[in-house]
Amino acid sequence: MTVLDRIQQPRDLRLLHREELLELCREIREFTVESVQKTGGHISSSLGTVELTVALHRVFDSPRDKLVWDTGHQAYVHKMLTGRRGRFDTLRQFGGISGFLARSESEHDQFGAGHAGTSISAAQGMAVARDLKGDDNHVVAIIGDGALTAGMAFEAMNSIGHMRTRVIVVLNDNGMSIAPNVGAVSRMLEALRTAQPYRGAKHIARQVLEHMPGGELAEEARRRIFTSLKALFIPNILFEQFGFTYFGPVDGHDLFAVEGVLEKARDFGDGPVFVHVQTQKGHGYGPAEDDNVKWHGVSASGSAKATAPQYTAVFADAVREVLKADERAVAITAAMPGGTGLLPLFKEFPERL
């Protein structure tokens, strides 16, 4: 019997020792590749969240604690660990298990949505309801860096920060959605990925400031010093500006490091927390690591396929002719130009898309 065979529900994960957990992660990746190539589905995203998902289910007590996944592309491992591995041969088939989260399918699926960017809003609603009922369970939203660029996600963070709602937001940051992310949020995340000096300086400053005398002047000095440190090393840590306490970034493929930071977030009692986890899309499977855009989705035959149906090529050809004919024309694409069919046009018309 494999380690994965022994996992029927999330609580079984807490019985495993260190070496068994590492073996489990390897077996999950192997099962994901073999299974999803038979049915078709999203491989790269779920391969990147293996350790994160195992850690979430070891640290939190689902379904009492609410794990709210943003879309289902990153949640195949969640489905495996919550009693549905035996039905993976029916993934995305008529009468089978859904490729997304489905509340009708499992008590562990807290929110069902196909559109990205909805998880933080849903999590706040659940957390507010929890507080009104006087419960003490945890609510965790898991969102990708692509989905985090959605306006709805920022509206939710703004509301959570204002209300001081006890919500944990976990950012699965693989530096991509289906295509590389662009914009101010993407640049800020890149700064956070490389901001080791800030974290070291913050730790030293905290030790020094703990020995300062009390009083309003000392409190103001503390605030100004930390603000200056952040401004020096990371211009605008947006999450802290929203009122979240920021933990990270942490290596998303170091299972025990992820568990550690999630435990800190779970035990933190003063308002909302933002946990920044860095992952690699397609991690552990060479072809998907080398071309995670191509392997974002696979067909039922097991061969990698584009993330869009072929009719988008017709659309792309039509747009190309318009751009050639009229230099005033521009094309506006969604955040996944591979899906809209316009990715090939970026090389031809880099300033007009």
Residue 204 maps to a domain: no
Residue 225 maps to a domain: no
State whether 172 and 47 are in the same domain.
Answer: yes
Q: Which residues face 348 on adjacent strands?
A: none
Residue 78 contacts residue 69 (beta carbons within 8 Å): yes
CA 174 to chain centre: 8
State whether 313 and 165 are in the same domain.
Answer: no
Residue 115 maps to a domain: yes
Predicted TM-score (pTM) of the model is 0.75
Please state the φ and ψ torsions of residue 6, each to the nearest 5 degrees.
-85, -10
Residue 224 maps to a domain: no
Tell the residue number behind the tokens 């029927």, with chain if given: 8
Residues of the domain holding 336? 308-348
Q: Which residue, of 278, 298, 318, is where some domain finishes?
A: 298
Domain count, the chain: 2
Whole-angstrom Cα distance, residue 110 to residue 122?
9
State whether 180 and 312 are in the same domain.
Answer: no
State whether 238 and 277 are in the same domain.
Answer: yes
pLDDT at 191: 55
Residue 342 maps to a domain: yes
pLDDT at 178: 42
State whether 139 and 263 are in the same domain.
Answer: yes
Residue 209 maps to a domain: no
State whether 142 and 246 are in the same domain.
Answer: yes
How would you write the pLDDT of the chain (353 residues) with one tens digit per residue? 899 999 999 999 999 999 999 999 999 999 998 888 777 777 778 899 999 999 999 999 999 999 999 977 788 899 999 999 888 888 888 888 888 888 989 999 999 876 788 999 999 999 999 999 999 999 999 998 888 888 899 999 999 999 999 999 999 988 754 445 445 555 555 555 545 555 555 565 566 556 666 656 666 666 666 556 555 555 446 788 888 998 988 999 999 999 999 999 999 988 999 999 999 887 766 666 565 555 555 555 655 555 555 677 788 888 889 988 998 998 888 766 766 778 788 788 888 87
The Cα-based distances of 210 to 82, 200, 207, 214 in angstroms read 44, 16, 5, 9
Beta strand 297-298 with 304-305: parallel, antiparallel or unpaired? antiparallel
